Amino acid sequence: MSGLRLMHVHAHPDDESSKGAASTAKYVAEGVDVHVATCTGGERGSILNPKMDRPDILENISEVRRQEMERARDILGIRQDWLGFVDSGWPDGDPKPPLPEGCFALVPLEEAAAPLVRLIREFRPHVLTTYDERGGYPHPDHVMCHKISVEAFAAAGDPERYPDLGEPWQPLKLYYHHSFNRPRMQAIHEAMIAHGLESPWAERLQEWKPEPEWDARITTRVPCADYFGVRDQALLAHATQIDPDGFWFAVPRSLQEEVWPTEDFELVTSHVETTLPEDDLFAGIDVSAQGLA
């Protein structure tokens, strides 16, 4: 896999560890150069771990989250850059309040995509991953992350677009993450019940309306169970966001490895020939034969 380059585009620090981290660790171990672009600093994120809910952390949340990202980055063995936008926060209330002025989700699309175009042209990834059009879940920053990723994927290879941001480079494949799909959660839930364990997904599944057409969008399942431990360590590095006693770690790792040993993606655009379904994000890419080094 040496010579291959993979870029993940994420909205906040911790997203790189909660979405696709095991496949990231797998590719790093196999020699792939992996780069994460983090859109915002997570400045408006809540503290989700009760043990970290302290005034000193709240007062320095931006710096704390940067330090957490550095630890996760080292655990995963990746490169990482900040795109420099400000977290939009989660609008709460009915009706929802306006988004804060100057936040990521309100930046005009062409302006917001520019630093990602520059980074793509510098790093020259063969594969780019991001969120689906729903954002994975409807956080304004996740939806905006989707928008700028699609824009940058299309624009980075066009010499007439963003001409001052480096030599054009066209990534060959674009994927959406589908890690939190209903069939996976259903399978894990049923396995927990079968083992006499309390399932963390019971209540969520009752509210989760089946969408067979949506689930059928998954094209690519990357086997990466051997790296679930690395994923878990990267998650724990984000101590303000991940409660070690919460739902993230309620399912035994051995059960996860047995029931659902893959991370799942949707191939959206490919400039190389490939056959679906896939088990590799780089299926169809031959760096040496295609002169793509």
Instruction: Please give the chain's pLDDT, 293 residues, in tens.
Output: 789 999 999 999 999 999 999 999 999 999 999 999 999 999 998 899 999 999 899 889 999 999 999 999 999 999 999 999 999 999 988 888 999 999 999 999 999 999 999 999 999 999 999 999 999 999 999 999 999 999 999 999 999 999 999 999 999 999 999 989 999 999 999 999 999 999 999 999 999 999 999 999 999 999 999 999 999 999 999 999 999 999 899 999 999 999 999 999 999 999 999 999 999 999 999 877 655 66
Q: What is the pTM of this model?
A: 0.96
Say if residues 123 and 78 touch (Cβ distance below 8 Å): no
Say if residues 75 and 230 touch (Cβ distance below 8 Å): yes
Q: Residue 126 — φ and ψ, nearest 5°?
A: -85, -30
Token pair of 215 as six digits:
């689930």
Q: Which domains does the chain have, with CATH numbers?
A: 5-180+215-254+261-286 (3.40.50.10320)
Strands 33-40 and 5-10: parallel
Show Cβ contacts of residue 226 under 8 Å, excluding neighbours closer than 6 positions: 26
Cα separation, 81 vs 213, in Å, equals: 35
The H or E element spanning position 14 is none
Cα separation, 275 vs 255, in Å, equals: 30
Place of tokens 């630093």: 115
Q: Residue 8 — φ and ψ, nearest 5°?
A: -105, 135
How confident is the model over 82-136, as pLDDT tens digits? 999 999 999 988 888 999 999 999 999 999 999 999 999 999 999 999 999 999 9
Q: Render the burial of 251-271: b for 16+ CB within 10 Å, e for the rest.
A: beeeebeebbebbbbbbbebe
15 labelled as ligand-binding? yes
Cα separation, 212 vs 193, in Å, equals: 23
Over pLDDT 70: what percentage of the chain?
Answer: 98
pLDDT computed for residue 253 by the predictor: 97
12 labelled as ligand-binding? yes
DSSP state letters, 86-129: PP-----SSSPPPPPTT-GGGS-HHHHHHHHHHHHHHH--SEEE
